[in-house]
Structure 1
């Protein structure tokens, strides 16, 4: 699944729910610090090109911090690599990221 496509679908669902319920079109997203350098800006840029009137409130932090935000109702979406311990949420995989170990060329005998 393309990450931006996944976020567009998730945010579209959220926007339509908010508008249907009479709320403002603000989406509060909490995400891991490491995602703030590249992934989140790319996701939001593509989304805002499609839906320029939607505003975002962004909060980044470690897993404990952003999980607490979700648990306390202080964000609408959570982008994380670890699931919360609660069964009260639906988890939608956005992407599979390869993980590598890098060593010097002469490190392995």
Structure 2
């Protein structure tokens, strides 16, 4: 670091201490500017449901999760869960079983 960098950093730390902020916070607020920070705060104060969103598929928008009493979503049952790819494994095993049966019939 140069002497100029040290002086700039010392001034930043003194200003931050005077304002009750960390040096990093003060530095970031100087870079971004107050108008951008005001916009961010205003956006985050709005309700999440008021924010515009992107709907990729109209059928997905029409599909709503099952809602139980008091607005809670019913969780899926553990017995209904299947590992991904299970159908493919079952088709492979069925094909191998059929192949093994044909092989036993041929031999025997």
Higher percent of residues as helix: 2
Superposition TM-score, scaled by structure 2 size? 0.23
- Structure index of larger Rg: 2
Superposition TM-score, scaled by structure 1 size? 0.23
Higher percent of residues as strand: 1
